[in-house]
């Protein structure tokens, strides 16, 4: 039963990584850029929820909705101010360096506003844990909700991208921005919508992550953001199902690595597995080779 407990904890943590990775993979799949500030938007979302509940006494669900709205606005503003002017830059390094700069800007702004003191985050999940096999296997309410939310988001995003007009516009922009614009698609609006969706998902991920791991600091989103990026690459960046699979696998590997090998080496194990997978399949688990026509 101990292994099953570890496995469920891994699925729960992996579901958080998957939700964050979905934001990464949406932005990369459409705009072909890596938004390394994504992890810090998670931190901002968690702080909004924390102060909404503690300072204003707002209901947890409504606090999450407020956080999603504000993070959506933040994501769109970041895209408009920091990334859009560099979209046609001659070097992709310009966008990458800007993304890192935005990340540090959010972190240091949070330090000035909230200080470096650790805040204790109250869980937004009100479901009691489920005990099975005479209490030998315990599934926390946070784990149940996190896994369920991850599945719902993955299915919802897949349907949105494949079945809606906005989703089809995203696919067209992803394929060829110039051709999409000639067909009358608002490329700027489509990319902004992608950032909005990714930032809203970051707020949800922040709520679920901090409910399970209740310590909140300005650096809360940094390492989860990096691991979620690893998960997106692991599953095949640009693939929505791949992001989910990658997130779940990274979470399971991390928890099992801590339990059976070393808690200090768990992060190294995660990155080592990524390297091995990319050596065997450079595009990731569900990634596809794209041949450019000249």
User: pLDDT by residue (tens digit) across 117-142?
Assistant: 999 999 998 888 888 877 778 889 99
Handedness of CA 6, 8, 10, 13 (dihedral sign): negative
3-state secondary structure of 221: coil
Nearest Cα residue to 66 out of 90, 45, 93: 45
Does the pTM surpass 0.85? The reply is: yes
Q: Where are the domains of the chain?
A: 18-221
Name the average pLDDT for the chain. 89
Residue 293: predicted pLDDT? 47
Residue 289: predicted pLDDT? 61
Residue 146: predicted pLDDT? 94
What percentage of the chain carries pLDDT values higher than 90?
57
Where is mean pLDDT largest: 85-89, 93-97, 106-110, 287-291?
106-110
What is the C-alpha separation between 118 and 17, in angstroms, rounded?
A: 22
| 285 in Cβ contact with 277 (< 8 Å) | yes
Residue 288: predicted pLDDT? 66
Residue 1: predicted pLDDT? 65
| 163 in Cβ contact with 169 (< 8 Å) | no
User: Which residues are registered as beta bridge partners of 120?
Assistant: 215
């Amino acid at each position: 039963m101990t292994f099953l407990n570890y496995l469920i904890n891994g699925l729960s943590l992996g579901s958080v990584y998957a939700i964050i990775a979905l934001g990464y993979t949406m932005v990369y799949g459409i705009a072909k850029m890596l938004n390394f500030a994504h992890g810090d938007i998670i931190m901002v979302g968690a702080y909004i929820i924390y102060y909404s509940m503690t300072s204003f006494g707002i209901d947890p669900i409504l606090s999450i909705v407020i956080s999603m709205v504000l993070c959506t606005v933040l994501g769109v503003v970041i895209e408009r101010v920091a990334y859009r002017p560099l979209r046609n830059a001659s070097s992709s390094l310009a966008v990458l360096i800007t993304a890192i700069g935005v990340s540090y800007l959010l972190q240091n702004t949070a330090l000035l506003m909230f200080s470096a003191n650790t805040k204790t985050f109250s869980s937004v999940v009100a479901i009691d844990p489920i005990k099975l096999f005479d209490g030998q296997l315990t599934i926390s309410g946070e784990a149940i909700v996190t896994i369920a939310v991850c599945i719902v988001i993955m299915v919802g995003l897949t349907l949105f991208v494949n079945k809606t007009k906005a989703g089809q516009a995203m696919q067209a922009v992803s394929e060829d921005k110039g051709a999409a614009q000639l067909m009358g698609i608002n490329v700027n609006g489509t990319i902004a919508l992608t950032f909005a969706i990714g930032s809203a998902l970051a707020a949800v991920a922040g709520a679920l992550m901090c409910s399970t791991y209740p310590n909140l600091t300005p650096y809360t989103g940094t390492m989860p953001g990096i691991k979620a990026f690893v998960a997106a690459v692991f599953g095949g960046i640009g693939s929505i199902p791949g992001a989910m699979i990658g997130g779940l696998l990274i979470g399971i590997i991390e928890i099992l690595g801590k339990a059976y090998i070393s808690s200090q080496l768990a992060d190294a194990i995660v990155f080592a597995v990524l390297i091995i997978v990319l050596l065997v399949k450079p595009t990731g688990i569900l990634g596809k080779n794209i041949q450019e026509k000249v």
